[in-house]
Amino acid sequence: MQRLHLVFGGELVDPSKTKFRNVDDIHIVGIFPDYQTAYDAWKAEAQKTVDNAHMRYFIAHLHRLRDEEQEVSTTEELG
């Protein structure tokens, strides 16, 4: 089973919270096939912005967003 991970980041309103200052400026680093590759990409981007306390990068576990074993909800059905 492939476990995809999304790495993204941007400037936060408050460095102690996770609200982005401008969602249009969110930097999508990419989608990666495993955690280690995503972690390496996250670390590289985070290190580039270490001098800006408001910049944060995150790893989202895309494989956790959808459980293939469960029936889809009505919001996922089209037409």
Domain ranges of the chain: 8-66
- For domain 8-66, the CATH class is alpha beta
pTM for this entry: 0.78
Q: Which two tokens mark 15?
A: 């460095």
* C-alpha–C-alpha distance, residues 18 and 6, integer Å: 16
Q: Which two tokens mark 66?
A: 């959808």
Show the DSSP H helices in 1-79 as ranges. Answer: 35-48
6-43 pLDDT tens trace: 999 999 999 999 999 999 999 999 999 999 999 999 99
Residue 49: pLDDT over 50: yes
Q: What share of the chain is helix, strand, coil (3-state, %, to 5)?
A: 30, 30, 45
